[in-house]
Homo-oligomer: A and B are copies of this chain.
Amino acid sequence: MDGKTSPLAVKLPELPPLAGVRLGAAEAGIRYRNRTDLVMLELAAGTTVAGVFTSNRCPGAPVDWCRAALRGGQARAVVVNAGNANVFTGRAGRETCAVTAAAAARLAGCAAEQVFVASTGVIGEVLPVDRLTAALPALHAGLRADGWEAAARGIMTTDTFPKAASRVAKIGGVAVRINGIAKGSGMIAPDMATMLCFICTDAKLPSGALQALLKKGVDASFNCTTVDSDTSTSDTVLLFATGQAKHPRVPAEGGRVLGDFARALNEVLLDLALQVVRDGEGAQKLVRIDVTGATTGRSAKRIGLAVANSPLVKTAIAGEDANWGRIVMAVGKAGEPADRDRLSIGVGGVWMARDGGVVPGYDEAPVAAHMRGREVAIAIDVGLGRGKATVWTCDLTHGYIDINGSYRS
Q: What's the dominant secondary structure at chain A's contact region?
A: loop
- What per-residue 1/0 map shows which CB atoms of A379-409 lie under 8 Å from chain B? 0000000000000000011101100111110
Pairwise interchain contact A329-B231, C-beta atoms closer than 8 A: yes
Pairwise interchain contact B311-A358, C-beta atoms closer than 8 A: no
In the complex, A87 has a CB within 8 A of chain B: yes
Stretch at the interface among A25-33, A206-214, A319-327: A319-327
Pairwise interchain contact A59-B332, C-beta atoms closer than 8 A: yes
| Complex Cα–Cα for A136 and B62 (A) | 66
In the complex, A4 has a CB within 8 A of chain B: no
CB proximity to B under 8 Å, residues A352-371: 353, 355-358
- What per-residue 1/0 map shows which CB atoms of A260-281 lie under 8 Å from chain B? 0000000000000000000000
User: What residues of B have a CB within 8 angstroms of the CB of A202 in the complex?
Assistant: none
CB proximity to B under 8 Å, residues A50-109: 55-59, 87-90, 92
A224 CB to nearest chain B CB (Å): 17
Pairwise interchain contact A332-B405, C-beta atoms closer than 8 A: no
User: What residues of B have a CB within 8 angstroms of the CB of A321 in the complex?
Assistant: 405-408
Pairwise interchain contact B58-A228, C-beta atoms closer than 8 A: no
Pairwise interchain contact B88-A333, C-beta atoms closer than 8 A: no
User: What residues of B have a CB within 8 angstroms of the CB of A230 in the complex?
Assistant: 310-312, 326, 329-330, 333
Pairwise interchain contact A325-B123, C-beta atoms closer than 8 A: yes
In the complex, A341 has a CB within 8 A of chain B: yes
In the complex, A156 has a CB within 8 A of chain B: no
In the complex, A236 has a CB within 8 A of chain B: no
Instruction: Pick 6 A–B contacts, CB within 8 A, sort by A.
Output: A57-B333, A57-B340, A58-B328, A88-B328, A88-B353, A228-B312
